[in-house]
Structure 1
Amino acid sequence: MSFFWNAMTLVTLLLPGRIWAANQCEDTRANDFNLSVTSRRNFTGHRIVQVVTAMGGSSLSYTPPVILDVDHRQLNDHGSCSTMMTVTTTISPSPPSDYEVVNGLGFYKMHTTALRWEDARDKCVQEGAHLIIINSDEEAEVVRTYFVRKPKILNLTENGHAKLYAHVGFHDRYVEGTYITLKGQPLDQSGYARWDANKPNSRNDHNCGFANKDVKYHDGPCEWQQFYICEFEP
């Protein structure tokens, strides 16, 4: 889990009206260009950024707020001078207002309306977040704290099944017995992979990840309706 991330885009501009002289690129006239940034979220809630440049304009606009670090160098190609520009964007969007901040980790929200694993995953994405992926003992403590703060959820049942777990963002739906996170990382490389006794049980219909009140992992049917925690990463 990272608190900030960078998206790097390399843009090459060939600016007209330039000449090569005395080992330098010199302008024969002024040239303006526009730089615009657009972004969208993928299915894990992460942002994909696109940087676009256009010649002949005089304005600069982008959404959401982005810090642009622009580096450029001039190149000579048989007497023609071009400018290569590298644009690094650092995006730090604001979390939803009802998410709680945990210093040094991120932003979290526990949903107490039980859903199936896939529905819980989709609900987190709708909020610009993702189903929690536990990457450390410190983050496991966040989950444990939610169970302590909301003890009534452990007493709820549905069709005779107790709601003792919270959905977690890992599964083995692609290859039986090979558990990966929602980001495609092997679970045993995610920083936290503590299973409860006799788990996983490797049943073919137990393909989604859960954590109990002690933050020990279980595998179970994706159709189980349980509580869940969404994680927002700026």
Structure 2
Amino acid sequence: MFLLPSLLVFCVLFQCVVCNDAQCALPRPNSFTFSINSVRNLTGHWTAQVQLEHGASRKDVGPWVADIEHTTTTCEDSESIHIVATVTAPPQRPGGDYELIPKLGYYKFHTSGKNWREARQICEQEGAHLLILNSEEEAGVIRSFWRRHPKLFDGWRNSCAYIGIHDEFVEGEYITLFGESLNATGYARWAKNEPGEGTSGNSGCVGRDGALYDTNGFNHLAFFCEQEL
């Protein structure tokens, strides 16, 4: 068995959230210990073994995942071993007032009016994002939230809530917060004659019937936040 030569190039990319509570006993929730060992076996193949030990918070929503890429480059009589380990930690669950919808995610309907940018910021502060609809099933969930609140505002504002789509970059080309085309989300059911606000309406909202509308992002509307499973 041969030890790893000094020519090893070692990269670790990771995302994690560290517990700030000084009273936490070790191992702290969301902290982790990571080790990697690379050896050549009897057949001459290089193998890499990864060990990952981490704490867990009750707010974690999924497993930690370690993906390893191990490549070997030969140049004359020397070898270069390159190992890239990507450790992905799950996001924390949003606040306790989010509602879990099995197989879909966590949702919250904010009924106080905010403009689109304020709504986006609030969702992100809660560990979520403005709703992005992906299916008719999910639209049905949103309609059920609407039915709990028959009266929020006067006029048309009572029937539209901000979601995470916009056409701020190219007029008429709606995309999600993450740059994905609206047509690629799996749900692009616009109301009749929508989008119809032209250059004055760059923010998306969802109506009580589940249809999509565009509106001016400075309007103060209710809004939906979500976090996927």
Same-fold call, TM > 0.5?
Answer: yes
Q: What CA distance in whole angstroms lies between the structure 1 residues aligned with 2:104 and 2:200? A: 33
Name which of 72, 96, 121 aligns with 2:70.
Answer: 72
Report the AA paired with residue 179 of structure 1.
Y
Is the partner of 2:120 in helix, strand or coil? helix
TM-score, structure 1 length as denominator? Answer: 0.68
Which of the pair has the greater relative contact order for Cα pairs under 8 Å at 6+ separation?
1
Q: 1:194 to 1:62 in 2, by over 3 A?
A: same
Contact 1:38 1:62 in 2 (8 A): no
Q: 2:117 aligns to what?
A: 118
Is the partner of 1:72 in helix, strand or coil? strand
Q: CA deviation at 1:194?
A: 0.9
Q: CA deviation at 1:199?
A: 1.4
Q: 1:172 aligns to what?
A: 167
Q: What CA distance in whole angstroms lies between the structure 1 residues aligned with 2:76 and 2:54? A: 36
Q: 1:203 aligns to what?
A: 198
Q: What CA distance in whole angstroms lies between the structure 1 residues aligned with 2:176 and 2:4? A: 55
Q: 1:186 to 1:72 in 2, by over 3 A?
A: closer
Q: 1:89 aligns to what?
A: 87
Q: 1:69 to 1:204 in 2, by over 3 A?
A: closer
Which range is displaced more, 203-212 or 97-106? 97-106
Which range is displaced more, 74-83 or 195-204? 74-83
TM-score, structure 2 length as denominator? Answer: 0.69
Q: 1:29 to 1:222 in 2, by over 3 A?
A: closer
Contact 1:168 1:211 in 2 (8 A): yes
Name which of 181, 186, 194 aligns with 2:176.
Answer: 181
Query: Relative to total residues, which structure has the larger strand share, 1 or 2?
Result: 1
Q: 1:6 aligns to what?
A: none
Contact 1:209 1:220 in 2 (8 A): yes
Report the AA paired with residue 230 of structure 1.
C
Aligned pair count reads: 193
Q: CA deviation at 1:210?
A: 0.9
Q: CA deviation at 1:60?
A: 7.8
Q: What CA distance in whole angstroms lies between the structure 2 residues aligned with 1:162 and 1:68? A: 46
Q: 1:74 to 1:198 in 2, by over 3 A?
A: closer
Correspondence 1:39 to 2:47: no
Q: What CA distance in whole angstroms lies between the structure 2 residues aligned with 1:207 and 1:128? A: 24
Ranges in structure 2 where 5+ consecutive residues have no aligned partner: 18-33, 37-50, 57-62
Contact 1:131 1:229 in 2 (8 A): yes
Ranges in structure 1 where 5+ consecutive residues have no aligned partner: 1-24, 42-51
Task: Give identity over the alignment, percent.
Answer: 36
